[in-house]
Amino acid sequence: MKVLLVVTHPRENSLTYAVMNRFVEGLKQNNHEVDIMDLDRDGFNPVYTAEDERDWKSPDKQFSPEIRKEMDRIVAADALVFVFPLWWYSVPSMLKGYLDKVWNIGLLKEFTSKKVLWICLAGGDQEHLIKYEYHDMITHYLNNAIAGYARVKESKVEFLYDTLSESNEYIEGLLNHAYLLGREYK
């Protein structure tokens, strides 16, 4: 399977990147092909402009070369995986900009054959996110409001909780979990 993995975090030495690297190790152990889009390092411009909005209703719209390239990467993939930190109970601005600019009317017919995995790193623990209904809100937003609207055939959110833990053993457990997610991904 060909997987397009989109990652975002301003620091390369972050847990987000460590999780992504372990997930990719697992994918490769599972003989998947991986195409990595690093929103922070690959020069993606997340700012949505008037040019992006031009002819937005037309399925035959001509997109900028930057956006067309990213759309073609999606078309070529069997699955899409997003690895990102949870900030203010939402996706980081880089990822929101990517979704706004690239997940557009020109791709709607393509998404019906795709599957999506959202790997969301949350600083809070599971109990906190469930108690205040953030877990359900985020899951609904990603699976229904974004992937559902795009008619993605399968969408799943995988939370990694308590990512601010100072326990090396706990963090190693998160990294092992990321590896297993990649290794078992179908």
Q: For residue 133, how many other CB atoms are within 10 A of its CB?
A: 10
Task: Give the pLDDT confidence of 89-120 residue by residue, as tens digits.
Answer: 999 999 999 999 999 877 878 888 999 999 99
Residue 63 phi/psi, 5-degree rounding, is -95, 160
Q: What is the mean pLDDT of residues 63-86?
A: 95
Asked if pLDDT for residue 47 goes beyond 80, the answer is yes
Question: How do residues 10-30 score in pLDDT, each as one tens digit?
Answer: 999 999 999 999 999 999 999
CA nearest neighbour of 171 among 181, 180, 159, 160 = 160
**CB-count exposure of residue 67 (10 Å: 0-12, 13-18, 19+):** buried
Read off the pTM.
0.96
Q: What pLDDT score does 62 carry?
A: 85
Torsion of CA 16, 19, 21, 23, to 10 degrees: -140
What letter would DSSP give residue 90? B
Give the distance from CA 73 to its chain's centroid: 14
Return the percentage of the chain with pLDDT > 70, whole number: 100
pLDDT above 80 for 56: no
Which whole-number Å values give the CA distances from 16 to 10, 64, 82, 114, 178, in the listed order?
Answer: 10, 29, 11, 24, 10
The strand ranges marked E within 12-153 are 33-38, 79-85, 115-121
Q: Which residue, among 75, 69, 79, has the nearest Cα to 4 in the 3D structure?
A: 79
Structural domains for the chain: 2-183 (3.40.50.360)
Q: For residue 153, what are the contacts with CB-CB under 8 A and spacing of at least 6?
A: 111, 112, 113, 114, 115
Backbone φ and ψ of 44, nearest 5°: -70, 130
Count the neighbouring beta carbons within 10 Å of the beta carbon of residue 176.
12
- How much is the pLDDT for 54? 79
